[in-house]
Chain A
Amino acid sequence: EAQVTQNPRYLITVTGKKLTVTCSQNMNHEYMSWYRQDPGLGLRQIYYSMNVEVTDKGDVPEGYKVSRKEKRNFPLILESPSPNQTSLYFCASSLNPSGGAYEQFFGPGTRLTVL
């Protein structure tokens, strides 16, 4: 089944404790992206990647890191989480948008709480 998976789905952590949220897709998509969603603010793009070893900042990259060492995986790293990073996080992927392919497939979301 074609899908985007994220782990963990739920996470409660404390300020400053490094964490990684994994994202994997099995559709051979070039484009992958991380979003956070907060009430009243809609989706905000954190980072995106056009292909392996190519990453770019979105709207709200501060406090986050990403890497794209393999095409299928795009982990989101919070080196020192803070309470303002409490949010619902989505990973998404699509074919290469340079060819006009902007239909993104979203993972199920990760609800992160930082105490």
Chain B
Amino acid sequence: EDKVVQSPLSLVVHEGDTVTLNCSYEVTNFRSLLWYKQEKKAPTFLFMLTSSGIEKKSGRLSSILDKKELFSILNITATQTGDSAVYLCARTMDSNYQLIWGAGTKLIIKP
């Protein structure tokens, strides 16, 4: 089945901790995998990954794609309360421009 599965569904950590969020999918042929952050409003773009093994980095956030094992991870180091959000991943289809989204990981950072 054509699904994107994110884990964990929710996560509570303390400020300063490092977190790893997972996104797995079930097909081998697709163009891109995307990560978005959603606070109490619309999602905002974080990363687009197209090639396996190449890390994308932005400040304390980084992400990598493993096309062989069919997953991606999003790492956040030295977490801050402002990182509290729902993190969404999505993958593109190979045959068209539809996007398939995971249900998201709700991350709560305690001070």
Binding site for B on A (CB under 8 A): 31, 33, 35, 40-45, 48, 50, 56, 58-59, 90, 97-98, 100, 102-109
Give the chain B neighbours of A90 by CB distance below 8 A: 42-43
Binding site for A on B (CB under 8 A): 6, 31-32, 34, 41-45, 48, 50, 88, 90, 92, 96-104
Give the chain B neighbours of A109 by CB distance below 8 A: 41-42
Give the chain A neighbours of B44 by CB distance below 8 A: 106
- The reply to whether A98 and B97 form a contact with Cβ atoms under 8 Å apart is yes
In the assembly, what is the distance between CA of A6 and CA of B96, in Å? 26
Give the chain A neighbours of B45 by CB distance below 8 A: 103-105
29 example contacts (A-B, Cβ-Cβ < 8 A) are as follows A31-B97, A33-B99, A42-B6, A42-B88, A42-B101, A42-B102, A42-B103, A43-B90, A43-B101, A45-B99, A48-B99, A56-B97, A56-B98, A58-B98, A59-B98, A97-B97, A100-B31, A100-B50, A102-B32, A102-B99, A103-B34, A103-B45, A104-B43, A104-B45, A106-B42, A106-B43, A106-B44, A108-B42, A109-B41
The verdict on A102 contacting B42 (CB below 8 Å), with A41-B103, A42-B88 known, is no
In the assembly, what is the distance between CA of A103 and CA of B104, in Å? 18
Give the chain A neighbours of B97 by CB distance below 8 A: 31, 48, 50, 56, 97-98
In the assembly, what is the distance between CA of A70 and CA of B65, in Å? 37
**CB-based nearest B residue for A39:** B103
In the assembly, what is the distance between CA of A50 and CA of B98, in Å? 10
